[in-house]
Every structure is written in C-alpha cells, then in structure tokens.
Amino acid sequence: MRYSGLRQALREKKRKSLRNHEISDSSGNVFISGASWNGTNYDYVTIKYSSSVPPPRLDFQRLNNQLVLSWTNAGFNLQSAAAVTGIFTNLPGATSPYTNSAISAQRYFRLAAP
C-alpha cells in the first residue's frame, strides 16, 4: 500500500471511532493510529514501526572447553540466566567476543536493547 493510500485509510478509520487502529504495508511496516478527545479538540497520533531494523544476531562457537559468543551490534547488552524462563541480567562489561567456560553451570544467553 502506498503512503497516500495508507494515509487515506487511516483518515477513514479515524472518522469511524476513536479506538486505536493497526495497518501494515507491503514492506512489513506497521502503523498504529489513535485519537483522544480533550472535551474541545481531537488529538491524533500515528506511529510507524519499521521492519527495516534487523533483529540482533548472537553467534556462538565452542573452542576447547569454552563457549565464545559474538555479535556485531554493540548497542545490545549480553544477558544471561540459569533457565530459559528465568530472569535474565546484563553481564557487566561483556563485549563481543565474550568467552564463557563451558564446564561451568548451564547458562542461557540473549541480546537485549538497553
């Protein structure tokens, strides 16, 4: 859907109700639109969530008795937990590549935005 068509669709939805609306385009972008009434005027907002930002990738490699984790986006924090459903916490000072002993207790790792 071209932007002008998307804008028109949002206008038509806004006229119908004040609820939030979601529309996605052919590129995978998601647009959220909503309105509020302050008793005198309507306030409208539309937010675009872009699909062009790739998710972070966490690579791993086992070298001898060590697990080496690496990632390319330094804007993400390496986190660890004892269970996959556990509480993940930042590993202070962890930078890529990060080496962890593979003979220690089982750990789960992920990247998280600050």
pLDDT of residue 39: 74
Secondary structure string (H, E, C) spanning the chain: CCHHHHHHHHHHHHHHCCCCEEEECCCCCEEEEEEEECCCCEEEEEEEECCCCCCCCCEEEEECCEEEEECCCCCCEEEEECCCCCCCEECCCCCCCEEEECCCCCCEEEEECC
Whether residues 67 and 97 fall in one domain: yes
* pTM: predicted TM-score of the whole model, two decimal places: 0.53
- Domain extent at residue 10: 3-49
pLDDT of residue 20: 66
pLDDT tens string 12-50: 554 444 456 777 777 777 787 777 767 777 777 777 777
- Count how many domains the chain has: 2
Whether residues 45 and 63 fall in one domain: no
Whether residue 54 lies inside any domain: the answer is no
Average pLDDT, the chain: 76
